[in-house]
Amino acid sequence: MGCMGYVYRAMVKRPNILRYFKLFIKYRQACCFGNKRAVLADNRAIKIGRAAARFYRLLNYKSIFLRFNTMGAKVSIIIPCYNQGHFLDELLDSIRDCNSDLYELIIVNDGSTDQFTNDKLRELKAKGYQVIFQENKGLSGARNTGIQAATGEYILPLDSDNKVRPAYLTRAIEVMDAAPRVAVVYGNAEYFGEQTGTWKTGAYNMQKLMIANFIDACAVIRRSVFDKVGLYDTNMKLGWEDWDMWLRISFAGYEFRYVDEVLFDYRVLNTSMSKTLYNNYAKPNSIENYLHEKYATRMGHQYITAHWVKRFRKSPVLFIAKLILMTYFPRYYNNKLLKKNKVRNGL
């Protein structure tokens, strides 16, 4: 009987008090890191099994096995939750379809005030899920708490009202294991809820990203990158904290990789944070001004606006005509005019 057989046998037959837990930890480390010199003989494995059983008895059966199974997980899925407990079952169902050997799951209760959500999260914690309770710190703060508790090599922030597809983990791991300079892997999303269709994010381009964000927060990020660029900016409580993170990673010189597949499901609600952000122009204006000041030497929408105004003043009729052709007759504009150099590129 191998080591894990003794662990199992001891758990079933000898559930007493913790005594050999340190030995058990050494065994787990040997398994995870492949240290051949640390491989234990069977007689020591029996003690390890008994120690595991005692520790299991002291705490919680399901919790121990959930943590044991996630030792060495490649991806840490971070789920901030604020008053959205009614979406969690649907979200967790989607995660169960993923290969459980690849991920660990960390749910952060960001000071929810909804009774149902708090009861749901306590129920999940009792079942063995890793749930962290904290005072409300906002989306950035909740994600940061999850990242600090994560053990995975890669991080996947996942909003509590969305769903993930199994291919996201496998495709991201495949890409990032093969390319160490790739810091972010992202893909397309399928809308559900109050909107249907596919959100095709498109290939990465820094200039495009500096104009506006087009990459959702649900992207797989290399954990070590946070050590270089820092965690999410907790000053950005109004939103777009993911945009700020993509900018920082871009400016640090890391690579992004786009996978042209639907890798997660994005719930659209009229009451969602991203929707209500545009109900008041003061919010997006405030965020953009903050980012322009933060990256003053790299960004500045005022320069783009000034360029358009200058071109418009030079020839208002041509400017409007080009805009109409580019918008409603793109094939004619590109093939008949631009390729033959009858118009200048851009507005």
CB 18 within 8 A of CB 51: yes
Over 90: is that where the pLDDT of 127 sits?
yes
pLDDT at residue number 241: 95
Question: How far is the first Cα of the chain from the last one, in angstroms, to the nearest whole number?
Answer: 74
Strand duo 103-110 + 130-134: pairing: parallel
- Predicted local confidence at residue 347, as pLDDT: 77
Q: Which domain holds residue 321?
A: 301-338
Per the DSSP assignment, residues forming a β-bridge with 185 are 220, 257
Rounded to whole angstroms, the Cα distance separating 19 from 60 reads 16
**What is the predicted pLDDT for the residue at 4?**
46
| pLDDT given at position 51 | 57
Residue of 44, 51, 54 whose CA lies nearest to 3: 44
pLDDT tens string 322-334: 999 999 999 999 9
Poorest-confidence range of 34-48, 146-160, 216-230, 251-265?
34-48
Rounded mean pLDDT of the chain? Answer: 83
Q: Does one domain contain both 213 and 98?
A: yes
Predicted local confidence at residue 269, as pLDDT: 84
pTM: 0.76
Tokens linked to 61: 């059966």
Residue 31 domain flag: yes
Question: 295 lies in a domain?
Answer: no
Distance of CA 53 to the CA centre of its chain: 35
What share of the chain in percent tops pLDDT 70? 77
Considering only the C-alpha atoms of the chain, give the largest distance between any 2 of them, rounded to a whole number of Å. 88
Report the pLDDT value the prediction gives residue 238, as an integer from 0 to 100: 87
Q: 193: which residues sit within 8 A by CB, 6+ positions away? A: 267, 268, 269
CATH number, domain containing residue 173: 3.90.550.10
pLDDT at position 301 is: 84
Pick the last residue of a domain from 231, 251, 270: 270
Helix (H, G, I), strand (E, B) or coil at 76: strand
Give the mean pLDDT of 11-17: 39
**pLDDT score of 345:** 86
Contacts 24+ apart (CB under 8 A), 246-252: 246/184, 246/209, 246/213, 246/215, 247/209, 247/210, 247/291, 247/295, 247/298, 247/299, 249/183, 249/184, 249/221, 249/225, 250/206, 250/209, 251/295, 251/298, 252/225, 252/228
**Nearest-angstrom CA–CA distance, 201 and 221:** 17
pLDDT at 257 over 70: yes
**What is the structure's pLDDT at 280?**
76
**Is the same domain home to 109 and 244?**
yes
- What pLDDT shows up at residue 273? 59
- Count of structural domains, the chain: 3
pLDDT digits (tens, 9 = 90+) for 75-117: 999 999 999 999 999 999 999 999 989 999 999 999 999 999 9
Instruction: Report yes or no on 152 lying in a domain.
Output: yes
